[in-house]
A and B are shown apart, each in its own frame.
Chain A
Amino acid sequence: MAELVAPHPNTLELVNSWLEHHGIPSSSVSMTHGGNTLMLKGVSVTNADTLLGASYQLYRHVERGETIIRTVGYALPAVLHGHVLTVVPTTSFASPPTRRKTPRNHSGGTATGLVKSGSREPATMLSSRFDIDYVTPDFLRWLYATEEYIPAATEKNRLGIAGYLADYPSPADLEAFMTKYYSDAKDATFAVVPLSGGGYDEDDPTDEGNLDIQYAEAMAYPTPVTFYSTGDERSGTDPDSDDFFVSWLRFILKQRSIPQTISTSYLVDESENSREHSIYVCDLFAQLGARGVSLLFATGDDGVGHGNCVTEDGSVQFIPVFPATCMCSIFLRLGVVHK
């Protein structure tokens, strides 16, 4: 992999010269992210401002209150523009990955997560066979024609579920869900891998964690499932944390063994990142793809855009969501097609 993403030798030499010019010796710089990213650990904000012609400040989200360190712009020496794709953290203000809206049906006791196929309105994807308002595991297996499929090679295959915002599921809720909707798989289990401040308390699960693991198991059982609980660092004391997806990617790219298929149900508005930052993150996902990992990403619950798609100037504009908008054929994208 390192060979595929390796920079030109001149690039390394030039960038190291630039860093040394600013008093950062190459001995304090390490290579990461599969071999295409230099990590400069513990740079003072004053030096970062000088290095990048930036003005790092603390920014607070007016609704959620989390604080991050970012700059609204940064610069590089002209000779480096052909060598450096982007620097993070700089201008990425992407809001925390959005959990998909998950109307709950509490009538099932501890079993969580029946995803209503149309929020607050009559169901818009009607089936003559399933007279239901909710998407059930049975419906999904019929929709994707997997009713007769028996997962093979379960001793070798694994399914990964990437969770963010410190989400994680509950084994008791999973058992209750499977008992009600897929009793053949009521002994389904999962492993949890916390990273970057993620957690796992089986008595205090989150809705999205439960939803994601329950439907994954309903489709993939008895394939082993691993849930990655990536932390919500921005709400803590680490405001310089970088992109959520990058935190997870940095972890997973270091692993020797990675699930062959990984599903992600979190997204951000594409417009909240610079084009270069988006390319950078997409390329990290592409590294997984080149290692044979199949990636599934949510495209949201809103079809071409949430709300009424009307911008502040009154025009109607569709709202692409990231990372599902990464280059065609890197991902399989799944989401609703209406609203």
Chain B
Amino acid sequence: MRYHCIYLSVLAAVPLGGLAKPLSPRWNDMHTKHSWNAVPKNWESLGGPPSGTTIDLYVALKPHRQNALIDALYEVSSPEHPKHVLHHSSARARTHMCHCSDPDMVHTYLRSRWLSL
């Protein structure tokens, strides 16, 4: 494992203003993104792969608009919203929905199906 954690430079490297772009990034100021304390259970190391082995890496980027995706998902999922995708009318959809905020309502429904709890 080769981490290049230069802790003294942490404060200098943290961008001011969130996504501000630093003028000269310190590419060698490496901070751990994620690590396990040990090899996960049920796995054993076989050592390094053969020389010349290549892998495809996928770098997932954070979205510019943090909540846009979930907001869009809620719009198409809300029967009252114009973007709702359900084929039912909102009135018909309501007849199939259980606004079960109270756990007792769930139990009542299950008992109505003669299920023992």
Contacts and interface: CB of A to CB of B under 8 A. Distances in A.
B2 A88 contact: no
Given A45-B49, A330-B73, A88 B58 contact: yes
Contact of B30 (A4, A53, A89): A53
Interface string A202-232: 0000000000000000000000000000000
Contact of A79 (B15, B52, B55, B63): B15
A127 B113 contact: yes
A36 B69 CA distance: 12
Contacts of B3: 53, 73, 75
A272 B41 CA distance: 9
Nearest to B55: A240
Interface in A1-51: 3-15, 17-18, 21-22, 32-33, 36-45, 48-51
Given A18-B27, A62-B43, A78-B29, A91 B76 contact: no
B45 interface: yes
Contact of B33 (A48, A62, A74, A240): A74
A88 B35 CA distance: 13
A102 interface: no
Contact of B49 (A58, A62, A63, A76): A58
Contact of B29 (A77, A89, A124, A283): A77
B14 to A, nearest CB: 7
Contact of B10 (A9, A39, A63, A78): A78
A67 to B, nearest CB: 7
Interface stretch (A159-167, A284-292, A301-309, A313-321): A284-292
B101 interface: no
B40 interface: yes
How would you classify the secondary structure of chain B's contact residues: helix, strand, loop or mixed?
loop
A126 interface: yes
Contacts of B52: 44
B70 interface: yes
Interface string A60-93: 1111000101011111111101111111111101
B22 interface: yes
Given A86-B34, A128-B114, A4 B74 contact: no
A6 to B, nearest CB: 6
12 contacts: A4-B65, A14-B25, A17-B25, A61-B43, A73-B32, A77-B28, A78-B26, A82-B19, A89-B55, A126-B116, A283-B69, A286-B70
Q: Which 6 A-B pairs have the closest CB atoms?
A: A73-B35, A292-B85, A240-B55, A7-B61, A58-B46, A78-B13
